[in-house]
Amino acid sequence: MSAISVRDLRKSYGAYEALRGISFEIQEGEVFGLLGPNGAGKTTTIEILEGYRTRDGGDIDVLGFDPERAGSAFRERIGVVLQHSQLWPNLTVAETHRMFAGYYEHPRNVDEVIALVGLDEKRTARVKTLSGGQKRRLDLGVALVGDPDLVFLDEPTTGFDPAARRAAWDMIRSLRSLGKTILLTTHYLDEAEQLADRLAVLRGGVIIREGTPSELTSGSSETEIRYRKDGQEVVIRTSEPTRLLQHLTAEAVAEGRELEGLSVRRPTLEDVYLSLTAEHQE
């Protein structure tokens, strides 16, 4: 069953078209990544699905609701981590969780949630004393305290140091193992590749590619071969790497020279992403 279905979603701010008809489906229990550079329309999309913004056109269904008109019953079932938001500096971690837990019919156990997001040792610490990464974990804990079926994460690790990002990734993976559906936006490729079951690349308000991370990389059939000849770097992209390599190596062996600095590389998601976004820029 699909948790989210979006068809031909459109949104303009004045004359600026932020979303120019995007469509995608997210299955229950899936981690779906919306990937794209700043200004691509990621936050607009996620905020329409959360019910913060109205749409100009298209059909959306989130857990059987139209978020634009949905009320408390919808909000019982979603958890939200906003891109920029803080919580009360003078409450403790545990108090903040308890306050939010009171808004839901069937909240999760507050101590369990605090343990899940790794803030055990900070239970009685005031929010203002937490580090940036810990505050983000608090945001996540508060998003989970209502035991949502669907969790929206808008750039959950932006501004993290590498260790904090790894920790956040582990946490998001543990959410998936709880069976939550997750919609995640990010402009970090490695994050999308690490976490998402499927992802859509958004650019200029349109989805330019969609699939699993490995589909996205294998969809591009090119392999890159690099070596140096007479001190010059040679880069060849080919869809027939075996034949080309045989030809190159045979030639080199026949001439009794070395293919210096030879490397054969499959494109990473980053290459695909950069080439995709570059193509569409032109």
Partner 1 sequence: MKLLRHQVKWEQRLFWRSRESAVFVFLFPILLFALLTAVYNGHIYGRPASWALLAGMIGYGTANTAFAGLAITLVSRREIGILKRIRATPLPPAVYLTAVLVSIMIVFAIQVASLFALGRVLKSTPWPSHLLSLVPALALGVAAFAALGLAITAFIRSLEGSSAVLNVIVLPMAFLTGSFGPTRHYPKVLRAIGDVLPLKYLLDLINGIYLQGQQLWDKPTAVAVLGGWGLFGMAVALRTFRWEPREG
Name the residues that contact partner 1, by CB under 8 A. 50-52, 71-73, 75-76, 78, 80, 82, 84-88, 90-91, 95, 99-100, 102-105, 142, 146
Query: What residues have CB less than 8 Å from 6, skipping those under 6 apart?
Result: 22, 23, 24, 25, 45, 49, 58, 59, 60
Task: Kindly state the smallest distance separating residue 98's Cβ from partner 1, in Å.
Answer: 8
Our CB check for partner 1 shows the closer of 106 and 256 to be 106
Pair type for strands 198-203 and 31-35: parallel
Task: Kindly state the smallest distance separating residue 114's Cβ from partner 1, in Å.
Answer: 17
| Helix, strand, or coil (residue 221) | coil
Task: Kindly state the smallest distance separating residue 233's Cβ from partner 1, in Å.
Answer: 43
Distance CA 90, CA 5 (A): 39
Our CB check for partner 1 shows the closer of 91 and 262 to be 91
Place of tokens 């059987």: 64
Task: Kindly state the smallest distance separating residue 80's Cβ from partner 1, in Å.
Answer: 4
Our CB check for partner 1 shows the closer of 76 and 149 to be 76
Distance CA 217, CA 211 (A): 9
Our CB check for partner 1 shows the closer of 69 and 84 to be 84
Task: Kindly state the smallest distance separating residue 204's Cβ from partner 1, in Å.
Answer: 19
| Helix, strand, or coil (residue 206) | strand
Find the largest Cα–Cα distance for the chain: 78
DSSP state of 230: T
Our CB check for partner 1 shows the closer of 85 and 129 to be 85
